[in-house]
Amino acid sequence: MRNELFIDGHWVKPVNGGTFPIVNPATEEVVHHGPAGTAEDVDLAVRAARRAFDQGPWPKMSGAERARYLRAMAAGIRNRLQELARLETIDNGKPIPEAEWDIGDAAGCFDFYADLAQELDRKPVEAIALADARFTSKAVREPVGVAAAIIPWNYPLLMAAWKVAPALAAGCTMVLKPAELTSMTAMELAAIAMAADLPPGVLNVVTGAGPIAGQALADHPNVDKLAFTGSVPVGSKIMQAAARDIKRVSLELGGKSPFVVFEDSDIDAAVEWVMFGIFWNQGEVCSATSRVLVQESIYDRFLDRLIEETGKIKIGDGQDPGVLLGPLVSRRQMDQVLSAIDKARADGAHVAVGGGRPAGFNRGFFVEPTVLVDVPLESDAWNEEIFGPVVCLRPFATEAEAVMLANDSKFGLAAAVMSRDDARAERVAAALRAGIVWINCSQPTFTEAPWGGYKQSGIGRELGRWGLENYLETKQITRFASAEPWGWYIKDSTLS
């Protein structure tokens, strides 16, 4: 485990020497002390990224050359998959098989953007047909400049990959600030970049507190682009910081995503996907389908099966075999989720299963997988992100009612619909106001497909070719290609 920041290709101690505790949420043990960067360290990192962009080779390289570095980083991640997954589990709490999945996806993300970097070479210019034939024009794509990534703790290395890989593919340089709750794999990503011989300053990693290191990065005048994933209140601060000097900004924020289950669904398949939609990663998922609408004719049967299967989920230390639900990331997160459940009860909801800390656990930030029913539409439980293994259930009568209830939210990140009737599923998918709609499943995420939210769930799209767009500027280059004089001021020019 490391205790230095990665700036300009070197490991350096934070200027003021500060540290913060790294806690294993399953045991509550302090396993390490991470380096707490401050505004001074952020400034050094941004300067390094600026130099690397303005004077270094990175933005001028061909896409194929940058792709070689990205592939080396993908291989570096894959070679250390087990070790990185273990660090992720110690830091975040998630079960090892989920962490392994994330690390594999992070490597895949670097490979995917390596391909897109190469594609930039094949499509460097786009000719533009102008109505005025005296001019020719073309559009070229260029990197935005110095990008800053501020990322959350729920998928630590994967969220880093979603931002670092496309930024580097585009030719940007970057400063990455991981969440203080989960910094270990970001530090290893720096080591992997170093081993891949990434030129100095192209990727810098500064760990530390959000309001200190994160805010300094968002405020830094030499950053051209802010990419953020996290809560709505912090997203709003990031956008305000961007507004001051017109930085480019992309935000991936929270949600309260609906899952609509129609009566023609296979009950077991519906229960399985509803569980995957809310209990996977302890429900600490921005796109978690935390509001489930079930057609009234199957509501009771569905609820019985959901209660039965939820009760069987093995809770424990993510490092133990067979565990499907680990602890939440922190005491604060556990306390927030427990108080959200208490508030739901006070507001009139009933706990069908779960509802507290699991019996027999005297340490660790564990919360039982919880199903809430009779949840009032105006309650916080129905409207606000809980970010834990807590699902709200509600019956509906008609398709129109389901769509109305599903869309009645300030968020619009994701939504899911389950039906054997493909035409109905497509109709509902079209009607749902969300950036991601799953049909007959919930949560599978693909590097090739656009990811991001409507409404308060964010701005912009990550992943796929859309993810690369975040890090590219568009420049038009237009030439006056006529031998005729322009003749506006000088009417009788005699061309020799």
Say how far apart CA 340 and CA 380 lie, in whole Å.
8
Size of the site for Mg ion (CB under 5 A): 3
CA 307 to chain CA centroid, Å, is 30
Query: 345, 364 in Cβ contact below 8 A?
Result: no
Q: Where are the alpha helices (DSSP H) in 30-152?
A: 39-54, 63-79, 81-92, 96-122
List the single partner that 152 binds among ligand NAI, Mg ion, none, CB under 5 to 8 Å by kind. ligand NAI
Q: Which of 24, 89, 118, 154 binds ligand NAI (CB under 6 A)?
A: 154
Does 387 engage in binding with ligand NAI (CB under 6 A)?
A: yes
Does 229 engage in binding with ligand NAI (CB under 6 A)?
A: yes
Based on CB atoms, which residue is closest to Mg ion, 23 or 278? 23
Size of the site for ligand NAI (CB under 6 A): 25
Query: 148, 222 in Cβ contact below 8 A?
Result: no
Residue with tokens 């509001």: 291
Is residue 119 annotated as part of the catalytic site, yes or no? no
Catalytic residue, chosen from 252, 284, 385, 399, is 252
SS3 466: helix
Q: Which of 50, 58, 70, 91 binds Mg ion (CB under 5 A)?
A: 91
Does 414 engage in binding with ligand NAI (CB under 6 A)?
A: no
The amino acid occupying position 377 is L
> What are the structure tokens assigned to 372, written together?
């809430």
Name every residue whose Cβ is closer than 8 Å to that of residue 256 and which is 6 or more positions away in sequence.
290, 291, 382, 383, 384, 385, 409, 411
List the single partner that 91 binds among ligand NAI, Mg ion, none, CB under 5 to 8 Å by kind. Mg ion
Say how far apart CA 283 and CA 154 lie, in whole Å.
9
Say how far apart CA 126 and CA 140 lie, in whole Å.
7
Choose the stretch contacting ligand NAI; rule: CB under 6 A; options: 39-47, 213-221, 370-378, 391-399.
213-221
Q: Which of 32, 50, 66, 237 binds ligand NAI (CB under 6 A)?
A: 237
Site pattern 166..205 for ligand NAI (x: CB under 6 A): -----------x-xx-------------------------
DSSP classification of residue 10:
E
Choose the stretch contacting ligand NAI; rule: CB under 6 A; options: 68-76, 246-254, 267-275, 299-307.
246-254
> What are the structure tokens assigned to 492, written together?
């009788």
Q: Which of 95, 254, 277, 318 binds ligand NAI (CB under 6 A)?
A: 254
Positions that interact with Mg ion (CB under 5 A) = 23, 91, 181
- What is the set of active-site residues? 252
Positions that interact with ligand NAI (CB under 6 A) = 150-154, 177, 179-180, 210-211, 214-215, 218, 229-231, 234, 237, 252-254, 286, 336, 385, 387
